[in-house]
Structures are given as C-alpha cells and as structure tokens.
Amino acid sequence: MVSSKMGEALNSQIKQEQYSSHLYLAMAAWSESQNLKGFGHWLRVQADEERGHALKIMGYLLDQGAAVTLKGIDQPPSDFKSVQKMFDDVLEHEKKISEMINKLYAQALEEKDYRTQIFLQWFVTEQVEEEANVVETRQKLAELGEKSSGVYWVDKELKKRGAK
C-alpha cells in the first residue's frame, strides 16, 4: 500500500495529466481552426494519451487500496501565435511533466516504496519518448520555416500518427 503522502502526490499527478489532456485539446482546436488538421489530429492523439496516463495512475492507486481524489484543473490557454511557438510550449510542458515524474520517483525511492518505483519507471521511459517526438516536430518546423509550404508538409505528416 502507498503512503498517504505518496497517494497525495499521485493524485496531484492525475490532475497534471488531466490538465495536459485539456491543454492538448485546446491546441488541437486552435490548430484545426487554422486549417491545420494534421496538427489537430496529432494533438488529439496526444490528449488521449495524457488522459490514459491519468487513468493508469488512478488504476494503480485503486489497486493499492489508496483513495483517488480528482482535483479541479485550470483552463488552458486557447490562442497560440504559431505552430512553432505552440510546439515550443508543448516541449516546455513535457519537460515540466518529466520533472514532476522524476520527483515522484525520487519520493518513492526515499520512502522505499518499491512497487511505486517500478510503476513510475514506465512514466520515466514514456517521458523520454514524449520529449523526443516533440523535439523532432519542432526541428522540422524550424528547418522548414513557418511561412513556407513546409508547415503544410509537416501537417500532412502529423495526420499519419496512429494510422495503420
């Protein structure tokens, strides 16, 4: 069973994952309003992943007999100046989430909570992938330029996410 301190910290992470989902939905809505359906698609998939992360933590808490307390989330921004700036924001947000996951892992280490350490290892690995995916898109945007047809090429590429 997780300590009450760890349970509280994991409940706070659920809130952060839910906020991430809302943030990416707001970004998807903005992208689609700019006729960038591929960016919108990529961000919708990302929003679903973040919601899945929240549910994964919730399931873990329940499996450990800990209380789940869903906390209110802040309203995300709804206006983004450009896709490059938006993906800069995505990267900063993912780095912030990585830092939060690392703090949870450190707390589990300190508490000698080996079950939670093992559980959180998946999130540590996931954050490496999350950041790498965003860096790749940011790099493409930077190299192609915002005012070129390159944005539309990246938009077309992002539409393929999750396609089989």
Number of domains making up the chain: 1
Kindly report the average pLDDT of the chain as a whole number: 92
- Of 76, 74, 89, 99, give the one whose Cα is nearest residue 39: 89
pTM for the whole structure: 0.89
Q: pLDDT at position 164, please?
A: 42
Q: pLDDT at position 144, please?
A: 75
**Residue 44 counted as domain residue:** yes
- Of 52, 43, 37, give the one whose Cα is nearest residue 93: 43
Q: At what angle do helices 37-63 and 150-158 cross, to 10 degrees?
A: 40
* Beta carbons of 117 and 127 less than 8 angstroms apart: no
Q: pLDDT at position 147, please?
A: 60
**Residue 163 counted as domain residue:** no
34-48, 58-72, 77-91, 139-153: segment of lowest average pLDDT: 139-153
- Chain centroid to CA 15: how far? 12
**Residue 85 counted as domain residue:** yes
**What digits encode the pLDDT tens for the residues 99-128?**
999 999 999 999 999 999 999 999 999 999
Range of the domain at 129: 4-158
**Residue 65 counted as domain residue:** yes
**What digits encode the pLDDT tens for the residues 59-101?**
999 999 999 999 999 999 999 999 999 999 999 999 999 999 9
Report the largest interatomic distance among the alpha carbons of the chain, rounded to a whole angstrom. Answer: 55
Neighbours of 35 (CB within 10 A): 10
Q: pLDDT at position 146, please?
A: 63
- C-alpha 147/C-alpha 6 separation (Å) is 47
User: What CATH number is given to the structural domain containing 18?
Assistant: 1.20.1260.10
